[in-house]
Amino acid sequence: MKIIGFMTGTSLDGIDMAVLDTDGEAQLSFGAYAEKPMRVEVRAVLEAATKAALQWPRGETEPEIFTEARRVIADFHLSALDEFVRENDLNLQDFDALGVHGQTVLHERPKAGIKGRTVQLFDGQYFADRTGMPVVCDFRQADIEAGGEAAPLAPVYHRALALASGMDLPVVVVNLGGVANITVVREDGLTALDTGPASGLMDQWIRQHTGALFDENGAVAAKGGPDMDVVTQYLSHPYFQANAPKSLDRYDFTLEPVASLGLEDGMATLMAFTVESLRHEIERAGIKPNAIVLCGGGRNNLHMVSRLRARLADLAEVKIAEDMGWRGGAIEAEAFAYMAARSLRGLPISFPGTTGVKAPLTGGVVHQPRRASQESAA
């Protein structure tokens, strides 16, 4: 199946799109990919939706802004897709489906017998109608309803990449987004979990102090010195003693512990928290990996990659996605194209070792176009 995958992360920096021809199993053939920046007006609506989500009591009607945000994010996907197909001389009719993650504005893990909550805003039927294409989205809800964590989901694709690359197992694949997560790919299965913040807290810090969206190449962090007492305070959170599988929301940790620090020391401290929490959870996984591969936007932060290489060197050689021939900026979009194929074939996308669901479970809601729109992005 030839599918275009889409990913918008919690950093709200843009949209990733990638073409993948796959059977949802071992077949992987790669096409065009692109990253498009998020427009300011789109980000503003999604930030407002996220703020409303964080204040939304269980059992109450969803915030009104969700309806607006679903259409805004879908329209952003439409405009990005239009550019993507034109720039790469593609014809949508050559594709079998579109796989869309949607915009996460809330993620709460299950606890004490209470199901979790996860919200990925998108309007799949509208997108299908406008493109004239089958759309697979809402990948996490089935897992939540079955009592799972609904995150991380990319591990099934990380496994496919590792096997296609002929890597010696076990390996650890690290995704550095707003939240960091790891996939442990072993001969006998998969384990996955969120390890702590990646860029999320650092992005909040730099934006609060300077208005910049992120600390380019970790330049600000490199000038500061980490307060390891604060890092220890962060690591005392009960999450770090919980067993995998487990998941986090970008906002499960706050900037309060670093509030008294200056810009540079605060940034260095938050980066140290990312590094130490990642090491902590890799050690707790109880395996000796043959390699640790860094993926996600955080792999572009040169200072953080340097710190990770130094801190994890005794565990395994640290590589970045491109060292493996992988397309680091496209992996998450490829993952949702891959999971769309699996969903269409009824294959599982989450597993007991990745989300804690009791049995392997498929996911992804399929929306068939109700009409071939004359306003199609093709």
Q: Residues forming the annotated binding site for ATP? A: 9-16
Residues annotated as binding site? 9-16
Residue 153's region, left for phi above 0, alpha for psi from -120 to 50, else beta, is alpha
Euclidean distance between CA atoms 98 and 79, whole angstroms: 14
- Residues 183 and 236: beta-carbon distance below 8 Å: no
Is the link from the previous residue into 369 a cis peptide, with omega within 30 of 0?
no
